[in-house]
Amino acid sequence: MDSTKMSFLGDGGSKSMWLKWWEKICGCKVHQHYYQYIWSQKVKRSLWKKLLVSWVVGWTMVSLWIFCSMSLQATEKRKETLASMCDERARMLQDQFNVSMNHIQAMSILISTFHHAKSPSAIDQRTFAKYTERTAFERPLTSGVAYAARVLRSEREQFEKQQGWTIKRMDTVGEKQVQKDDYDPEKLEPSPIQEEYAPVIFAQDTLSHVISVDVLSGKEDRENVVRARESGKGVLTAPFRLLKTNRLGVILTFAVYKRDLLSNATPNERIQATNGYLGGVFDVESLVEKLLQQLASKQTVIVNVYDITNHTHPIAMYGSNASGDTFYHVSTLNFGDPFRKHEMYCRFKQNPPWPWLSITTSIGILVIALLVGHIFHATVNRIAKVEDDYHEMMELKKRAEAADVAKSQFLATVSHEIRTPMNGVLGMLHMLMDTDLDVTQQEFVRTAQGSGKALVSLINEVLDQAKIEAGKLELEAVLFDLRAILDDVLSLFSEKSQEKGVELGVYVSDQVPELLIGDPGRFRQIITNLMGNSIKFMDKGHIFVTIHLVEEVVHSIEVDKESTSENTLSGFPVADSRRSWEGFKAFSQEGPLGSFSSSSGDLINLIVSVEDTGEGIPLEAQHHIFTPFMQVGPSISRKHGGTGIGLSISKCLVHLMNGEIGFVSIPKIGSTFTFTVVFTNGLPNSNDCKTQQIINQPHPASSEFEGMTAMIIDHRPVRAKVSRYHIQRLGIHVEMVSDLNQGLSNVANANIVINMILIEQEVWDRDSGMSSHFVNNISKIVHAVPPKIFILVNSSRSRASAVISSVHDPTIITKPLRASMLAASLQRAMGVRNKGAHRNSDFPSLSLRHLLRGRRILIVDDNSVNRMVAAAALKKYGAEVVCVSCGKEAISSLKPPHQFDACFMDIQMPEIDGFEATRTIRDMELGVNSEVSVDDFDNVPNWHVPILAMTADVIQATQEECLRCGMDGYVSKPFEAEQLYIEVSRFFQPS
């Protein structure tokens, strides 16, 4: 199997990696046929069923294990949560109990100091009750505090007289159940005679009912008192029902001693030093309830508190037997009495919830495993189908490649078949123009030529789009004059702009070099597309083309401000050009702004803006304006026509020139397209450029204009700047003023000699009286030669003549201004003539006459019309032409020795095409040059006749094939004088 075939593991590369990995593990090679069996052949259905069942069973067990594991984790987490909550409650209860115990101990010291150490005592029942009530907040768990004095039997009578009451006997819970409201101390029996007593003499108001009660008469209290005075520490009673309240509680007792005792005092010493007993009553039920109410989660946990001093019979101090969760947590409580042991039991009120996370996770994993198993099983079963699909895909790929080749061949054929007759049509029309025709016939021929060129332009656009899609569009790198190209573009649109009354203007910054290296044809194509779209969709205002260095736009505020005001070329508002380059990466903060500096090598970064005041682009159409074959709308398409690929081609060309393109358009206001391009500085004094022919190079500035001064009168600074740009190109110094009065003042100034005055038509028409006054005063100013007056108009000649009929006879210059047109107008009006310069349009023709005069040229073409056109064109320039109709005749004519200086050969011919004929001719020349002596062939040391391909096929692949087969150049049909001169000048020197 081919390594590029597909499988369920991916492409061939993935399978190769799988094989290498398997070979490393197993230590053996996997045979190719076994590999094909594994990945390409059908596996037995029973084996796949067993594998699927094993997969399902295995993942079912895994899902059960995950369920059990997650459930166990949830249970452990629930137990940890319960333990944390229970420990928190136990800690809080224990801390608050310790606080209360410390305060009771402190109170025992207070009684020892102010009651027993004072004579008389500074404390009575009222003082004690008032003090204990006010400090009750310091003992948050106590429900009351009482103090019982130690009274011996011998001291009883005197004590009772002093207190005014009889020592009462305490009823215990075990002896008699005391209800909440039936307790009356007066009804208690007097305490029986015994060795000592412990009657309560001070009590908090809540325990005032126990005053006079002997605490030694109760079993629990007696044990508590005895342990307290023997140990010297606080001790607790077992839980019991409190008197009167009948609630479960405990008593914390501290002994009050007569003096400070040593830490190692014996129990007898402590008993002898005892003055009394201070006890704090704790209502356990209410106090624990109050504590739990402070916690937000009280309702979720059941709490029980037990006294476990007797492990076999624990005493419940708080809580109920309400059912709850099955598991519980035990927290130890330490209340400071080592004899008493207490614990807190906690459990959740609600049973644990269903483990939905465990259930959903295990089920989800099982479902995923089942889906994976299903996908795996289905994928294996579909391997054979994938193989079939692969073979089908490869077959379709071959067909697509063949279709692509056929498309290219179709484009080449269609191009050739259309351009070949067009070459004849245009050639014959050109020949017809050289005959004697009247004005009407010349107009008809000129119209036919324009239509033919438009058809050729349309064909070129479609072919350019095909080249773009195929990635075959390439750029030239030749020396050219940017300003001359813009003059040609202005000439192209001048007639249409004058018909519509639209003003055209071009401005090139002085910092842009005179000569650049790049592709002038493609740059001109971009400008032509943008201006063509602008003039197509407008009938008023202007089209203004500006070219600056990018660094000027980035670092100059002046350039930015020019288009923001109403100071525009025609006075109409325009779309702000700055918004058209907002998305340019080169203008972002991360962009390489430093590369725009003129110090960054020979690269020239230009930014070109084409602004118009046309209809604008609708907002809904702006997002696909650069999409090929997309029109702004059906109505626009019907009204204006066009293929809709001009902007798409322009965007591609801009990107090939390492630039960016953007636009801003406001409906009913206009559009501004801006793009950047990167060229190389022409450096005309470098050795590399001396051998290159300069494309579109204009004639130099006329020497007759050197040193002259011109004055431009225009109130619009932008329009005046455009006029100054063109006039300065002729070597004329320019002064600018805004009105006729200021112009008259400057002319009258003796320090300035004005040779010519150029007045904008809008200024001239504003006030006819002022215009006449201006002309009359100009003639009165004494100068050796009075300045010549020119009117710059932007309309047809008939309208211009009507405008100036009332004044003297100023010379009319029709815009748009171009260097050649402006020079010719000034030469005629000023009475000078530059004999050393020729018109730009005649330059190739005159040069071709020098190059081709006396040259013997062979034309090879199977089409008689094409032979006739090519022969006429070459004979026009003085060449001696011989025509043949096939490749065989060409081979015979160019067999050394021969007298031909060059050959123009068609490519597509029957029997022997141009490629084969050229290869045969080169083989003959090679044989002659290597085997025959120089003397045998007229002393020619090296036979190599220049062969130029002459074809209507403009596909890049065809041009490359021409060079491979030995041709020296390429001339596409229909060809013009300029293109012909460029190719021929590489082989011939002027005669």
- DSSP assignment, residue 116? I
Q: What is the pTM of this model?
A: 0.53
CA distances from 729 to 216, 338, 706, 722, 760 (A): 131, 115, 11, 11, 19
Q: What share of the chain is helix, strand, coil (3-state, %, to 5)?
A: 50, 15, 35
pLDDT at residue 921 in the model: 92
Q: What are the tokens at 305? A: 């508190």
Question: Any idea which of 209-213, 345-349, 382-386, 482-486 has the lowest mean pLDDT?
Answer: 382-386
Rounded Cα distance, 726 and 747, in Å: 22
Over the stretch 141-164, which tens digit does the pLDDT of each residue have? Answer: 788 899 999 999 888 889 889 888
Residue that the structure tokens 């069996």 belong to = 37
Over the stretch 527-554, which tens digit does the pLDDT of each residue have? Answer: 999 998 888 888 888 999 999 998 888 7
CA distances from 403 to 391, 666, 798 (A): 18, 43, 58
Helices 32-40, 12-26: crossing angle, 10 deg rounding: 120
Mean per-residue pLDDT, 433-449: 80
Average pLDDT of the chain is 78
pLDDT at 5 over 70: no
Residue pair 105/255 in contact by the 8 Å Cβ criterion: no
The radius of gyration of the chain from alpha carbons, rounded to an integer in Å, stands at: 57
Residue pair 879/855 in contact by the 8 Å Cβ criterion: yes
Rounded Cα distance, 498 and 502, in Å: 6
pLDDT at 918 over 90: yes
Q: What are the tokens at 764? A: 């001239």
Where are the extended beta strands (E) located within 291-353? 301-307, 315-318, 329-333, 342-348
Outline which parts of the chain fall under CATH 1.10.287.130. Answer: 356-380+398-467
Residue pair 518/677 in contact by the 8 Å Cβ criterion: yes
Q: Write the single-letter amino acid at 864.
A: S
**What superfamily does domain 474-557+565-584+601-634+641-681 belong to in CATH?**
Histidine kinase-like ATPase, C-terminal domain (3.30.565.10)
Q: How many H helices and E strands in the chain?
A: 30, 31
- Helix (H) / strand (E) element for 855: namely none
Sequence-ordered alpha helix ranges (H) in 932-976: 956-964
Q: What is the CATH topology of the domain spanning 90-173+180-346? A: Beta-Lactamase (3.30.450)
pLDDT at 690 over 50: no
Outline which parts of the chain fall under CATH 3.30.565.10. Answer: 474-557+565-584+601-634+641-681
Rounded Cα distance, 949 and 967, in Å: 7
pLDDT at residue 854 in the model: 83
Q: Which residues contact 582 (CB under 8 A, 6 or more apart)?
A: 662
pLDDT at 43 over 70: no
Rounded Cα distance, 967 and 980, in Å: 15
Q: What is the CATH topology of the domain spanning 356-380+398-467? A: Helix Hairpins (1.10.287)
What are 145's strand-pairing partners? 280
Q: Are strands 969-972 and 947-951 parallel, antiparallel or unpaired?
A: parallel
Q: Are strands 709-713 and 756-760 parallel, antiparallel or unpaired?
A: parallel
CATH of domain 844-930+941-986: 3.40.50.2300
Rounded Cα distance, 578 and 563, in Å: 8
pLDDT at residue 248 in the model: 80
Mean per-residue pLDDT, 844-849: 60
pLDDT at 805 over 50: no
Rounded Cα distance, 306 and 85, in Å: 18
Outline which parts of the chain fall under CATH 3.30.450.350. Answer: 90-173+180-346
Rounded Cα distance, 534 and 672, in Å: 9
- Helix (H) / strand (E) element for 206: namely none
Mean per-residue pLDDT, 331-346: 86
Q: Are strands 811-814 and 788-793 parallel, antiparallel or unpaired?
A: parallel
How much of the chain, in percent, has pLDDT values that exceed 90? 14
- What is the sign, positive or negative, of the torsion defined by CA atoms of 931, 936, 939, 940? negative
Question: Any idea which of 217-226, 244-253, 368-377, 925-934 has the lowest mean pLDDT?
Answer: 925-934
- Residue 461 CA to chain centroid, in angstroms? 33
Over the stretch 573-587, which tens digit does the pLDDT of each residue have? Answer: 898 888 888 778 776
Question: Any idea which of 89-93, 97-101, 175-179, 476-480 has the lowest mean pLDDT?
Answer: 175-179
pLDDT at residue 297 in the model: 54
pLDDT at residue 892 in the model: 92
Mean per-residue pLDDT, 467-494: 82
Rounded Cα distance, 388 and 95, in Å: 82
With H, G, I as helix, E, B as strand and everything else as coil, classify residue 931: helix
Rounded Cα distance, 979 and 950, in Å: 12
pLDDT at residue 982 in the model: 67
pLDDT at 506 over 90: yes
Question: Any idea which of 101-110, 127-136, 551-560, 657-666 has the lowest mean pLDDT?
Answer: 551-560
pLDDT at residue 795 in the model: 67
CA angle 299, 302, 307 (to 5 degrees): 140
CATH of domain 709-830: 3.40.50.2300
Q: Phi and psi (nearest 5°) for 815?
A: -85, 160
Outline which parts of the chain fall under CATH 3.40.50.2300. Answer: 709-830, 844-930+941-986
- Please report how many Cα atoms fall inside a 13 Å half-sphere around the Cα of residue 269, on the Cβ side: 8
Rounded Cα distance, 821 and 815, in Å: 9
